[in-house]
Every structure is written in C-alpha cells, then in structure tokens.
Amino acid sequence: MNKKLITMISALSLCVSVAACSKKNDTSKTENTTGSSVNIESMKSESIGDADTFIKLGSEISIEGEGARVENNKVKITSAGTYSISGKLENGQIIVNAGDEDKVYIILNGVDITSSNSAPIYALNSKKLIIALQKGTENNITDGEEYIFEDESSDEPNASIFSKDDIVIIGEGKLTVNGNYNHGIVSKDKLKIQSGNITINANNDGIKGKDCINITDGDITINSQGDGIQSNNTTDETKGYVFIEGGKLNITSGEDGIQAETQVLIKDGDITINSGGGSENSTKSNGSKGDRSEIPNQDVGEMPVQGEDMGERPEMPEISNQQQPALEENVRNNEASDSITEETVSTKAIKAISNIVIEGGNIEIDSCDDSIHSNNSITISGGTMNIASGDDGIHSDAELNINGGTINITKSYEGLESEVININDGSIHLVASDDGINATETSTESSENTQQTNKQNGASQKAQININGGYTYVDASGDGIDSNGNITMKDGTLIVNGPTNNGNGSLDYDGIFDISGGTLIASGSAGMVQTPSSSSSQKALNISLTSQEAGNIINIQSEDGKEILTFAPAKQYQSVIVSTPDIESNKKYAVLVGGSSTGKSTDGVYSEGKHSGGTIIKTEAAQDTITNITQEGATTGGGVGGPKGQGQPCGQGDRKEMKNPSDMNTTKQ
C-alpha cells in the first residue's frame, strides 16, 4: 500500500502569525501538568571493536563473514556481531532482524544508501543497534518521499534510520541523514548520540527517541520542518525525557526545537536553536501593552477606590512588521489543565511537559514562541543563555527557580513568567515589549483576561515573586515587575527601566511588596507608580520628577556627602524608586538631576567615581518607610492593583518645602 506523508508547511511559513499556522494531530503533543520529576540517567557508553563481517555495497553486494545475507537488494543482518559496511546502495536497505538479546554493531565506512520506498536502515529487532561512523569517512542515508508498507495498517518505519529498539551513534566520521518521507532518525526505545559529526534534514522531526534521548558529545546539525529533537513517551512518566550532557547542537526547526514529554535536563553543551522561523515571525513581541492604555503626561487624578469598577480595559492592537494572511489565531501554550491537547503548531525552542533543568552549557535561542517553556517547573542553576523570543523568554506554569547562570533576553513579549518566580542568584538581563517579570496564576483563560480578572477580584493567593539574591536588570515597555500576588525582596540587585507611558508602572503588584534587603532601583513613568509596602523593614525613596530625558543622571546623596545612587535611566522617566540598606532613618537626602560622573557605568548605575554638577530638586529627611520626594511641577499618580507605598500615598498629603542646600553638608549646585 502506498502512503505519502502530507508535506508540512515550510519553516518560513509555519509561524507567519505567532505560531498559529496549521493544526497538527499528534498524540505526542498532549500536554498535562501531572508529570513528576524524572530520575534521569546517562545511557551506557559504547565502544567499537574489530569487524567480524565485511559488507561491500554496489550493483552487486558482497559479504565476507557470517550473520548477514542479501535478498532483493536488501542486506539482512540476523545475528549479533560487528559489521563493516562500505560502498553505494541505490534503492536498497540494511535490515536488522536479530535476537532479542543481540547487540548489533554497524560500522559505516563510507556509504551512500538510498531507498525510494522505505527506511534505508531499518532495525526490526535487536537488543541495541550501535552505529559507528568510521573516522575520515562521509556517510549518506536518504529515503524517498513515499513509503510502501506490507501491512496496510502500519505506519512504520517512518524515518530514514529507524529502530524498534535502542540506537547508539558513536565514532568520529560524518553522517548525513535525509528524511524526505517523515523523520530523520527514530528509536522506539532509547536513543543516544555519543559522538560523530551528524547532519539531519527532515520533512518532520529530526531525531525521535520515544523513551529518551541522551546526547553526550558530537557535532549535530538538524534542519527539520517539525520538532528538532523529540522524546514522546506519553504512557510512562519515568520516560519521555531529553538529557544533554555535552556536544554541539545547531537546530533549525519549523516547530519546537527540543520537546520532551516529561523532562529536559541540560548539563553542558553548545546549543543553538531557531524555532518557527525565529522571533521575527511572531507578531506578539512587536506590540506593547503600553500601546493599549496610553495616558498623556498630565495629572492622572486620584487612585480608584479598591474594588471600584475601573471600566473596560482597551484591547491591544495587533502590530506586525509585515502584512499577515488571515490564519487561525494561535492559542498561547502556557495554559495547563489535567489534559490539554494542542490545537496549533508549537514553535518553542526548549519545551517540556513536566520539568526543565539547566545546569550548564551555552544556549543561543531565537524562537517564534516561548524560548524556554515548561507546563510545570523550570530550574536554572548554571550556563549562559542568549534569548530572542517572539513570546515569553522563559515561561513555566507553576514555578521558575533561578539559582545561577547568565540569562540575556534581548527580545521578548514578557521576559520571565510563572505562577511563582524565585530569583536566588545569577545574572539576568532582559528586554520585554510587555511585562519584564510577571507572576500570574495558571489558568485556561487567556493571559490578558486572567490578569485583569485577578486585579479586579483582589490579590492572587498563589502568584509570587521572591528576589533573594542575584543581579536582575529589566527593560520593559509594560510593567517592569508585575505580580498578581505579592513580591518579596531580601537580597540581590533589581534595576528596572520601566515604561514611558502612564498606563503601566515600573513596579506593579496586587498584594504587598515587602523589601528587607538588597538594592532596588526602578525608573519609569509616573502615572501608575507603586512603591514597596509600609510593612517593609528597609526604607525607600519615592521620587517624582518633571519629565527627564533618557540618560539624564539622577543623583542621591546623604547629608554627610555620601553618594547613595548615581543612575542614568535608559529611557525617558518621571519616577524613580530607590531602596538600599544605605537609606537611614531621619537622615536628610538630596536629590539632584543632571550633571556627570567620573565613575564606571553598568546598566546606568555609576560606581567608583564622583558625581559633579546637576541641580538639586529637593532635600528630604527619611522619616517614614517610604519617603516621598516630589519636584515642583512634577506629575504624580496612583496605580490600580495592590496597595501603593504606604506612609502617604504618592502625590497625596502635604507637600514639604524645598530645603535650602546650605542645610546639608554638600557643595552641589
């Protein structure tokens, strides 16, 4: 019976509209959040010995040794052993059908094998198939676009190299696999790449290992219209994982770059992924939440009473770099329930249904959809990540733990998103066209509707952002850091270059923001200002200014001449919120704008230098937990959501007189 795989949409057209391209009926894509952490172990390493049998391919096939025979241009291997294969075989096959306990070693010693209607290498039965790439050789395996199956009900084999049992690839030679019918390399059990220079071109998925995929070394290039790497065991929660211990991977995929039914663990390696045509193919990241609620720089009036109807939220317009065809709208893949089936093509870079753990490696991602996505949890403790995302940079439904590593998100719709976000260590730089860091409850509703509903119904009991250490820099066009519940900060550094529009704020929360340590610097617009809560044990200054241009320095110094902060925001700003352990009760602090610094600037913060020049806009004593310092003529406003910085609400209460600079020990003018 002839079966022709329907050619999938090419990678360049797959994600013309936020991964909303075409439906894919693939049971391996059933998503759920019931999976638990998987006990991942490295597969046993293999080595190759001398060949027992030599097979020379050609118009006439010769076999020297035992365990193999030729039938109708097919080489059939029927017993354990080491087989060295060389030469060219047109429209033929290497078929392995050995015993259940037989390990079959195949040395590819310069082969070119094509099959027009089935898998060129087809392992029906063995304990394990070990493919060794002879050093200094080039080997090509190519199938046709149409397969013929003896059993009309069968859909296997479905890859250029296909095994019903384990596959291990070793050696120092080159291997090129062309999967024109469907996939490149498939194991129905476990698949390990131990070494080799491997290129895979596939009409669907590049590499599939049902139970697991383990990569320890090698130089692997995958060009696939489906997923690059996929482990898809949906019936055993201890399987279906991808474990990368090293090697070099370069993946260009029409759909997900790496997809695991349970867990992805990355210990090391150089990994480059472009999924769904990259972030430029997404329309989402080209819009800004700020665009849908722009408020001019004028007095925004009083803050609505808690619970008061605040009216309809304007819709965000769809913005793109190019005219988009009318395709089916994509449903974001960050939603979860006990069992949710994807209805649209997923174009994430690294995706797991259960957990993702990154302990090391160098990872470069350009993804149409989320760059790193889990339906449960993500833990990052090491490695370097450079990310450009058409949607979320890093998204987990339940919990995101950042314990170390270097994360650089150069483009995203939202930088970090999860129900609970714990930043314990590491270095994070992110750019977002919407919220920089967003904690929101998992829901089957759309993210926008869920967040707005939560704001109207009060603070979330689950959403939480906890900053316990590390260095975090946020450049966001929407809210800089946004929690539908609480925020806590105990240590570390958080720098926010927030929105320039008055419809968002550099800080946004619906519960409380308790700060007890660390350094907080948040600049942005003045319309929706929120400060840390009055319950905080560390003091903060809430500074309201007339509109300041990007790069114009704000300097804060204490009455004894100590510089508390010299900071040049990257964008236009009217509000700066500062909290450091250096702000002490009853000490006077002068705020200056303008001038210059001899120090070294890191993300706009100057250190190891001295500020000079500038204009003192006000001097104030830090008496309350939150001290409001307002420049004459500055616009102040209040934010919807959680309580604002307490003491006196921003812009409310008595305005204190400008102190004379001579009252302080400073020479600034």
How many other C-beta atoms lie within 10 A of the C-beta of residue 53?
A: 18
- Residue 477, pLDDT above cutoff 50: yes
Percent of the chain with pLDDT over 90: 72
How far, in Å, are 21, 106, 422, 577, 629 from residue 574 at the CA level?
42, 69, 29, 10, 12
- Residue 11, pLDDT above cutoff 90: no
- Residue 304, pLDDT above cutoff 90: no
The predicted model gives 320-329 an average pLDDT of: 34
The predicted model gives 431-443 an average pLDDT of: 92
Give the confidence band of 637 by pLDDT, cuts at 50, 70, 90: low
Identity of the highest mean pLDDT range in 25-34, 287-296, 320-329, 381-390: 381-390
Per-residue pLDDT tens digits for 136-158: 999 999 999 999 998 878 889 99
How much is the pLDDT for 41? Answer: 75
Name 384's bridge partners.
362, 406
The predicted model gives 59-67 an average pLDDT of: 96
Give CA–CA dist 543/530, Å, rounded. 11
Determine the distance from the C-alpha atom of residue 309 to the mean position of all C-alpha atoms in its chain, rounded to a whole number. 36
Give CA–CA dist 370/453, Å, rounded. 24
The predicted model gives 555-562 an average pLDDT of: 93
How far, in Å, are 317, 331, 443, 495, 598 from residue 20 at the CA level?
17, 8, 20, 35, 51
Closest-CA residue to 533 (of 650, 652, 421, 621): 650
Give CA–CA dist 78/661, Å, rounded. 93
The predicted model gives 255-273 an average pLDDT of: 98
Name 524's bridge partners.
575
- Residue 323, pLDDT above cutoff 50: no
- Residue 72, pLDDT above cutoff 70: yes
* One-letter identity of residue 121: I
Give CA–CA dist 431/63, Å, rounded. 61
Per-residue pLDDT tens digits for 642-657: 333 333 232 333 323 3
Average pLDDT, the chain: 83
Q: Is 232 within 8 Å of 211 (Cβ atoms)? A: no
Determine the distance from the C-alpha atom of residue 448 to the mean position of all C-alpha atoms in its chain, rounded to a whole number. 19
How much is the pLDDT for 405? Answer: 98
Per-residue pLDDT tens digits for 190-246: 999 999 999 999 999 999 999 999 999 999 999 999 999 999 999 999 999 999 999
Per-residue pLDDT tens digits for 562-615: 999 999 999 999 999 999 999 999 999 999 999 999 999 999 999 999 999 999
Q: Is 380 within 8 Å of 407 (Cβ atoms)? A: yes
Classify residue 402 by burial, with Cβ atoms within 10 Å: 0-12, 13-18, 19+: buried
Which tops the pLDDT comparison, 326 or 160? Answer: 160
How far, in Å, are 298, 396, 547 from residue 288 at the CA level?
21, 21, 21
Question: Residue 455 is inside which H or E element, if any?
Answer: helix 447-457
The predicted model gives 242-254 an average pLDDT of: 98
Closest-CA residue to 284 (of 374, 436, 389): 389
Q: What tokens does 619 get? A: 């001097």
Find all residues with CB under 8 Å of 275, minimum gap 6, and list them: 228, 251, 253, 254, 255, 256, 257, 347, 348, 349, 365, 366, 367, 368, 369
Give CA–CA dist 458/307, Å, rounded. 8
- Residue 2, pLDDT above cutoff 80: no
Of 69-78, 338-347, 458-467, 482-491, the range with the lowest mean pLDDT is 338-347
How much is the pLDDT for 531? Answer: 96
Give CA–CA dist 499/572, Å, rounded. 9
How much is the pLDDT for 659? Answer: 33
- Residue 39, pLDDT above cutoff 90: no
Give CA–CA dist 421/482, Å, rounded. 11
Question: Which pTM does this prediction carry?
Answer: 0.82
- Residue 448, pLDDT above cutoff 80: no
Give CA–CA dist 264/243, Å, rounded. 6
Determine the distance from the C-alpha atom of residue 63 to the mean position of all C-alpha atoms in its chain, rounded to a whole number. 51
Give the confidence band of 443 by pLDDT, cuts at 50, 70, 90: low
Give CA–CA dist 203/639, Å, rounded. 51
Q: Is 601 within 8 Å of 573 (Cβ atoms)? A: no
Strands 258-260 and 229-231, bridge-based pairing: parallel
Question: Residue 338 is inside which H or E element, if any?
Answer: none
The position carrying tokens 């996929």 is 230
Give CA–CA dist 411/584, Å, rounded. 38
- Residue 425, pLDDT above cutoff 60: yes
